[in-house]
Amino acid sequence: MKTFCCVAIVTLCFVCSAHAASVYSGCATPPTTFRHVWYFDPVNGKTNAAGGNGSQAAPWNNLQALIQAEPGYSYPLLTSAPYRQVPVPGQPAVTQTGPNAGPIQPGDEILLMSGNYGDVFIGGLTAEVANTDFVTVAAAPGQTPVLTSLFVGETNAWVFNGLKVQSLQPAARSGNALLQIKDAGASLPTSDIVLVNMTVSSADSTAGWSQALWVANARNGFSAISTTGGANTKCVSFSGSHIANVRNGAVLFANQTLFSNNQIDHFGDDGIDYAANNLAITKNNLHDNLDIGDGNHEDAMQGQIGSLAAGSTVNRFQNIFIDSNLIVRQTDPALSFPTVLQGIDAFDSDWTNVTVTNNVVITSACWGIAFSSIHNGLIANNTVAEDGLVATQGCVANVAVGDTTHQGSSSNNVVMRNNLASQVQITTPVTSVEADHNVAMTAGFSPTLVMYVNGVVQFFGKPGAYPNSNIIDAGGPKSEFVNFNPATLTYNLMLKAGAQAIGAATATGAPTLDIFAVPRSAPYTAGAYGYPY
């Protein structure tokens, strides 16, 4: 049996009401104390010229004045923000930084009072806003600041905490996410951007929207995108946040990105698209996808092509860690336009050092968890169940490893272990792709187990034990789970006493913790949940 290591990450909290900041391993960690605290209030605040000084008693009124001279502010309020001034009338403007600007400095906290701050751009345009310490922008206690949109680029070391970002989609914003992180090339990079406790949506409610209104009104949620190569935007963290009523939920195209402890629901296209190196996608809850009629093929998490370098035909990504996520196609009985939803997959690009563990997927789709062109991979202790509510001809939700993506090379050195799924299959003849200690649930569908034995594909459908300690359970989901009731959209996929998945797994080369971060112990279980609790 092969064994694999997980990608290292730093996470400071699992699920918290006020989620602590988390970052990808090796990225800068934000402080918890601050040099000075400043206040903004778009309703009752004032400009510098009108007597605002950033105190709680006399807050400023314009958040954009942080990084550029706005009316009533003769210079940016942040010392590290370059700005242009004309020292001699008629002479060209020059870019200056340092003691002439201010008074806000890196290491300070900025607290926002309730109100709408409009479109906020945090970036350098022609010069990087280079911070020596984090600048923290947070909701003041008990306050609900709202931004129409937030763009962060050509800068480093920012924390955004507890902000609401919301607006509909006029034509000018049709290609933009509500919250964007991006660089302007290698000379204007972006790094160490931390977002926590954010609320991102097109609108609070989309009740009554037609498919045409969805296409016309809904924004994309969050994007972290690097220019070609993935390293010009890096060390982005998005955690403890809620994205809802959007088209795409999140786009993760920047290296060293952590996306953790978030909820994405009522989304009209993909939940998470990813295409970068060193990604950790953990402990997220995705549910209630809908077909908005734009022709998109819905995926909860999909590996994408990404930005190709000149002359390149394939991106080769590495170090992808997808762990302890919960994906449920439908929980809302009033959901408009329910549709099939593929779970966690990659059908483009090439993927090395991939770990997919402890995830739960409940859906109507062929591909529950499916990867091709995957190398040195571990797909283990996942639970995938077919809800049967949307017709998918000739297939059920499976855990699968295929041969090649549209651009990549044949999968190799992959282990599928301890998975509990409606179907388990290998569709590549490469002998280093192995399946062991998996439990497949027939639920009336055959073949339930597809694998290669001595280089020959085998199709198994009858209950029983098969090579490499794989099992087919005749009872289906209701024989395994505490509650599995698609008719009422109620699910508890913890294992019930007597489930065949209990004791069917191996501890060798498998995750030591389950989806609840509880240490696994004998009897070792297939699927995301340990037993007993």
Same domain, yes or no, for 522 and 381?
A: yes
Q: Do 256 and 349 belong to one domain? A: no
- Residue 249 is encoded by which pair of tokens? 């939920």
Q: Are residues 172 and 310 in the same domain?
A: yes
393 within domain boundaries: yes
User: Does residue 186 sit in the same domain as residue 266?
Assistant: yes
> Does position 263 have pLDDT exceeding 50, yes or no?
yes
Q: How many CA atoms lie within 13 A of 251 on its CB side?
A: 27
The answer to whether residues 348 and 395 belong to one domain is yes
Task: Look at residue 4 and tell me whether its pLDDT is greater than 70.
Answer: no
Residue 112: its pLDDT value, please?
98
Residues 370 and 238 in one domain: no
**So what's the pLDDT on residue 86?**
59
- pTM of the complete model: 0.94
> Are 272 and 419 within one domain?
no
Tally the domains of the chain. Answer: 2
Mean pLDDT in the chain?
91
Domain membership of residue 409 as a residue range = 340-533
Do residues 184 and 221 share a domain? yes
Question: What is the C-alpha separation between 53 and 446, in angstroms, rounded?
Answer: 71
The verdict on 349 and 322 lying in the same domain is no
Question: Which of 271, 302, 330 is at the close of a domain?
Answer: 330
**Using the 8-state DSSP alphabet, how is residue 334 labeled?**
T
Same structural domain for residues 449 and 376? yes
Each residue of 366-401: pLDDT tens digit?
A: 999 999 999 999 999 999 999 999 988 778 999 999
- In angstroms, rounded to a whole number, what is the distance separating the alpha carbons of residues 138 and 161? 4
Classify residue 172: in a domain, yes or no.
yes
In a domain, 249, yes or no: yes
Asked which of 274, 300, 330 is the last residue of a domain, the reply is 330
- Which pLDDT value is given to residue 368? 97
Across 231-238, average pLDDT: 96
**Biggest CA pair distance of the chain:** 88
8 A C-beta contact, residue 155 and residue 124: yes
pLDDT tens-digit map of 177-229: 999 999 999 999 999 999 999 999 999 999 999 999 999 999 999 999 999 87
Q: Are residues 248 and 211 in the same domain?
A: yes
| Mean predicted confidence (pLDDT) in 279-302 | 96
CA distance 480 to 532: 13
Residue 495 lies in a domain: yes
* Mean pLDDT on 328-336: 96
Percent of residues, the chain, with pLDDT higher than 90: 82
Q: 């395994």: which residue's tokens? A: 480
Residue at which a domain ends, from 264, 295, 330: 330
- My answer on whether omega of the bond before 99 falls inside 30° of 0, hence cis, is no
- The token pair at 422 is 């409606």
Of 444, 494, 453, whose CA–CA distance to 473 is shortest?
A: 444
Nearest to 270 by CA among 246, 236, 293: 246
Q: Is residue 522 part of a domain?
A: yes
Residue 385: which of 373, 396, 374 has the closest Cα? 396
**What average pLDDT does this structure show over 16-42?**
88
| Structural domain contains residue 41 | no
pLDDT level of residue 94 (50, 70, 90 thresholds): low
pLDDT of residue 6: 36
Phi/psi region, residue 15 (left: phi>0; alpha: psi -120 to 50; beta: rest), is beta
User: 223, 179 in Cβ contact below 8 A?
Assistant: yes
Q: Which residue has the tokens 């001034």?
A: 85
Average pLDDT over residues 85-96: 62
pLDDT greater than 60 at residue 10: no
Lowest mean pLDDT among 97-106, 157-166, 493-502: 97-106
What value does the mean pLDDT take over residues 429-458?
Answer: 88
Core vs surface per residue 199-225: b (16+ CB within 10 A) or e: bbbbbeebeebeeeebbebbbbbbbbb
pLDDT at 278 over 70: yes
| Percent of the chain with pLDDT strictly greater than 70 | 92
Q: How far apart are CA 501 and CA 475, in angstroms?
A: 11
Long-range contacts of 59-67 (CB under 8 A, 24+ apart): 59/113, 63/110, 63/112, 63/117, 63/120, 63/137, 64/117, 64/118, 64/120, 64/121, 66/104, 66/110, 66/122, 67/121, 67/122, 67/123, 67/124, 67/129
In a domain, 134, yes or no: no
CA 505 – CA 436 distance, rounded (Å): 9
91, part of any domain: no
Q: How confident is the model over 169-175, as a mean pLDDT? A: 74
The Cα 2–Cα 473 span in angstroms is 25
Within 13 Å and on the Cβ side, how many CA atoms surround 281? 35
pLDDT at 8 over 60: no
Residues 479 and 359 in one domain: yes
Q: Is the pLDDT of residue 175 over 80?
A: no
Those residues with Cβ within 8 angstroms of residue 312's Cβ, 6 or more apart along the chain or in another chain: none
